[in-house]
Amino acid sequence: MDKRIKESSAFVLGLAVGVIVGYFLRSEKVDEVVQEIKGKLNKWRADLEGELDKGADWLKEMTASEEA
């Protein structure tokens, strides 16, 4: 009985999520949200690349100081 309730609940939850996603995709704000997400991801990528460059520079400094 408990398994049947879990399966039914999961089905209803999936159905609700599907309806919400469908409604969202038909709305006019999809382009706005997509552009906002792209902007945030691009900023995050740039920040991450900057931190990786700093780490690479630090590693070069450490290896250079050990060789000297």
Mean pLDDT by 10 residues, the chain (68 residues): 81 92 81 89 95 92 82
The answer to whether 21 and 15 are in contact (CB under 8 A) is: no
pLDDT at 68: 64
pLDDT at 21: 86
CA distances from 29 to 20, 37, 40, 48 (A): 14, 12, 17, 28
pLDDT at 48: 95
